[in-house]
A = this chain, B = another copy of it.
Amino acid sequence: MTSIRRDAVVAADGPVVALRFEHGALWAIDQTALPWRETELELRRAADVASAIERLSIRGAPLIGVAAAYGVALELAHDPEGLERATAILRGARPTAVNLAHAVDRVGAAVRRAAPGEAATAALAEAHALHADEAAASAELARHGADYLGSGAARRVLTHCNTGALAAPGRGTALAVIAELAQRSQLELVIAAETRPLLQGARLTVYELRRLGIEHELVVDGAAAGLIAAGEVDAVVVGCDRVAANGDVANKVGTYSHALAAVAAGIPFVVAGPTSTIDPGCPSGTAIAIEQRAADEVSRVRSGAAGETYELTLPGTRCRNPAFDVTPASLVTALVSEHGVVEPAAGDSVLSLLG
């Protein structure tokens, strides 16, 4: 894996392009270096892609799926017999995001349908198709979400983690809804929760909102519930990493407490995600494997262009670091997808979105 440093684009306007396939390689913005430095990683093998996903250079459930699809194609271009190996390497990169498994399976099926000698070509075509499908889903999802929220009084929206163009092809998921509200002049303010431990809110959401020219404020995660209770927030809108068949939602750690606070305050808790994040094979949240990540994500923090990390506690402190939590369907006011909106808390089935 090669990394190529480009000029910083912090001052640039407009949406970010998180992934592009060019000259036989997948080029991915190294999200661990944002907002201080824009570096593109040049990925040429499935293991490169898996490693970029593991270390969160590529993140966001839908973006991980597309990257993994390209990962299969890259491996087959190198070794036409490499499907099994590529699948295994990529599936193991992150256990919670179901899109990854979906994407790898979709490309695998295309490869098996392909004529002899056409495996790599078929895989790449399928990866491109998935990429295009996800970008189209983002646009549709944004429209449905803005219709749903805009009909109310969602002028101050709180969000968690990063769910923009850095997380999903197109404009993203929850942040795409927010951007659409802003475009319709139905948005006053975005309150971004910083999203410890890796600060995707402080680093990535703030970066995207700055580029999009959308008014925003940053808060620590623990401040969200109090602001919601105090009437400072009109709606919470977040993404999702996996939605179980019963409507339970796994998303970035810290999401569940925002949902509790929203429901206690009587404001909508809205989850935005393409239908590829729905896992009909997973009956409920208790069946979702929650990825446990390294302790030093909690005990240290990364800052600045040098990418250095700094200690936040005594050396040797034991840390527990679940990457996700589960919000029960009963707290999910709405699930917004490219196929429309359902209301799990009101008893709607999320499976109806799969048609």
Judging by beta carbons under 8 Å apart, are A221 and B206 in contact? no
Judging by beta carbons under 8 Å apart, are A254 and B222 in contact? yes
Quickly give the copy total for this chain: 2
- Secondary structure at the A interface, as helix, strand, loop or mixed, is mixed
Q: Choose among B217, B220, B224, B314 the residue that contacts A207 (Cβ–Cβ < 8 A).
A: B314
CB-CB contacts below 8 Å: A283-314 with B: 290, 298-299, 301, 303-304, 310-314
Is A74 close to B, CB under 8 A? Answer: no
* Cα distance, A257 to B303, chains bound together (Å): 27
Q: Choose among B206, B217, B225 the residue that contacts A325 (Cβ–Cβ < 8 A).
A: B225
Judging by beta carbons under 8 Å apart, are A256 and B225 in contact? yes
Is A50 close to B, CB under 8 A? Answer: no
Q: How far is the CB of A144 from chain B (nearest CB, A)?
A: 27
Judging by beta carbons under 8 Å apart, are A191 and B320 in contact? yes
| CB nearest to A295 among chain B residues | B218
A216: B residues at CB distance < 8 A: 317-318
Number of interface residues of A (CB under 8 A): 58
| CB nearest to A316 among chain B residues | B210
CB-CB contacts below 8 Å: A182-218 with B: 191, 193-197, 199, 202-203, 206-207, 210, 216-218
Is A229 close to B, CB under 8 A? Answer: yes
Judging by beta carbons under 8 Å apart, are B254 and A220 in contact? yes
Judging by beta carbons under 8 Å apart, are A264 and B260 in contact? yes
A14: B residues at CB distance < 8 A: none
Judging by beta carbons under 8 Å apart, are B303 and A35 in contact? no
The 7 closest A-B pairs by CB, nearest first: A222-B254, A226-B325, A303-B310, A257-B257, A225-B257, A196-B220, A260-B260
Could you name 28 residue pairs across A and B whose Cβ atoms are closer than 8 Å?
A193-B222, A194-B313, A195-B222, A196-B196, A206-B314, A206-B317, A207-B314, A210-B317, A216-B317, A218-B299, A218-B319, A219-B319, A220-B254, A221-B254, A222-B254, A222-B255, A222-B325, A223-B325, A225-B260, A226-B253, A226-B322, A226-B325, A256-B261, A257-B258, A257-B261, A301-B303, A303-B312, A310-B310
Write the residues of chain A forming the contact surface with B, with a CB cutoff of 8 angstroms.
10, 35-36, 191, 193-197, 199, 202-203, 206-207, 210, 216-227, 229-230, 253-258, 260-261, 264, 290, 298-299, 301, 303-304, 310-314, 317-322, 324-326
